[in-house]
Structure 1
Amino acid sequence: MTAPGLRRDELATFLRTRRARLRPADIGLPDGVRRRTPGLRRQEVAQLAGLSVDYYVRLEQGRGPHPSRQVLAALARALVLTRDEREYLFRVAGQSPPPVPGPSREVAPGLRHLIDAMTETPAYVVDAKYDVLAVNRLAAHFVGDLSAGERNMIRWMFRQPAPRPDDPEMLRFVRDSVADLRAAYGRYPGDRGLAELVTELLGVSPRFAALWAEHDVAERRPVVKRVTHAELGPLEFECRVLLVPETDQRLIVYTAAPGSPTREVFRRLADRVDS
């Protein structure tokens, strides 16, 4: 009897295509053996996953049993699946995907190069918990010296005075931040750092506790921020929070309208930083 949610044909096709794309060298096997078809042999995948060849062949033929979570985890390792592919494998096999241990903190070199190339736009990268991981030279004027100060943007936000009631953009920015944090809290149920941050803020910030109690879950939307910087004066810019899917990180950029006073301030600041 087919298990609820198990899609045999889709599982079989997915396993075949993932096997076909792998070269022997990808898993440490010699490339010298002549092969009729590209990719690994079925027996090689079965051996890597610790399964019998007959069991694996039946899975690829769409007539195998309902695979257990242990079998799926072994197949994901053997086929070198990405996080998205691993999740897909579990779902087509009728299983809930295993939880991801915690937010990724490793910033890809290409993302670092990108923010460094944005010489007239403040930009920085945070993880799903909103710990700042990387900043460009202009952003340092807004997030401060991270080596000596607060690295978590949510904690920093709730240490500041509450936004004025007549500033709906900032009120929405704070609300969206908490909703985004709750979404991450649900994605990483085993992450100690996230749990400790939420527990801390619930204990010290009534504003955070009130928003957290609303149970809003949402991704970030762009918001116009109007701030008075101690050194740069009044500024108005759009704060965009862009998701980096492969790491669940966020790229945050402050974009000023062309020809605006803030754009000119950013340009002069960039000249001063480069000099």
Structure 2
Amino acid sequence: MNKRELAEFLRRRREARRPEEVGLAVNGRRRTPGLRREEVAWLAGVSANYYERLEQARAPRPSTQVLTALSRALRLTEAESEHLTRLAGQAPPVRDEPVPDGVLRLLDRLGPVPAYVLDERYDVVAWNALAASLVADVAAVPPAERNVLRMAMRERRCSSHGDEFARHAAADLRRAAARHPEDRRLAELAREFAEHNAGFAESWTDHEVRPRPTVRKHIDHPHLGGLDLEVQVLHAPTSAHRLVFLTAEPGTPTHDVLTRHHLAASGGS
């Protein structure tokens, strides 16, 4: 259980929730942003003293029932509720695992679709040839630096370090940090990227935990020109890995470039 992170997350979510959103009447001016502590306690059916100690990182580990009640009281999303549960130590830690064979086979059979596999720390642990030639030659990067965030900090050709990407990276790393509270690499990576990207820093500080929509990516390739791609993410069912696809709508110039480049690389006509 990460008491400090749990306390900070609860406080941030409480301050972000307006009284009228949870059915409370507002009478007169309020000095406290969002909900008061005693209001959250009342909505969750716990004592005000216990909730106060939770936000002060002094309370014992909350039960599953209390976590469910707090999620309901604060109107947390599914992603936020899962994050709360993990911060409270109610989920088993996820250990490093090899990339499943099925994911590797899929990666090699995608044809004109650049793709790579990420672990929870945003380390690139597998990739196909098209991703290496169009996005980044991961094989040329030292293994310790094969991380999407670290490559984004160094590489200015690719706009993957934009604000929307950064905010979702912050949410992903927050969840990973809840699973691996003792992982110093995660903490160091978050600190480095927060110094590089203001959107990441703000989202990390605010404990934003959000589902990932479709993210668009623009790449200025030195030989192929501008490429406009959609980033699609597939979560592996038996591990914590994610398969990231870079796709283009059929009929677009980018789709034609990807197809021609794949055929040329594979010896097709």
Q: Same fold (TM over 0.5)?
A: yes
Shift of 1:250: 0.9
Q: Write the mapping of 1:87-166 to structure 2, written as runs, cut at 5 A.
A: 97=90, 99-100=92-93, 102=95, 104-141=96-133, 142-149=135-142, 150-160=145-155
Q: 1:222-256 CA distances to partner (integer Å, 9 max, x unpaired)?
A: 11222221221111121112222421111100111
Are the aligned partners of 1:225 and 1:238 in contact in 2 as well (CA < 8 Å)? yes
Provide the aligned length of Structure 1 versus Structure 2. 177
Looking at structure 1, the residues matched to 255 and 184 of structure 2 have their Cα atoms a distance apart, in angstroms, of: 40
Change (3 A) 1:96 1:235: closer
What is the identity, as a one-letter code, of the residue corresponding to 1:273?
A
Among 212, 216, 234, the alignment partner of 1:220 is 212
Partner of 2:16: none
- Determine if contact 1:239/1:255 at 8 Å carries over to the other structure: yes
Which whole-Å CA distance do the structure 1 matches of 2:155 and 2:204 have between them? 17
Task: State the shift of 1:191 in Å.
Answer: 2.3
In the alignment, which residue of structure 1 is the partner of 2:234?
A: 242
- TM-score, normalized by length of structure 2? 0.58
| 3-state SS of paired residue (1:221) | coil
Q: Which runs of 5+ in 1 are unaligned?
A: 1-90
TM-score (ref. length: structure 1):
0.57
CA contact (8 A) 2:112 2:259 kept: yes
RMSD: 2.9
Contact 1:226/1:235 (8 A) holds in 2: yes
Q: What's 1:205 paired with?
A: 196
Aligned mate of 1:273, from 261, 265, 269? 265
Separation in 2, partners of 1:257, 1:265 = 12
Q: Secondary structure at the match of 1:217?
A: coil
Higher helix proportion: 2
Q: Which is higher, the Rg of structure 1 or of structure 2?
A: 1
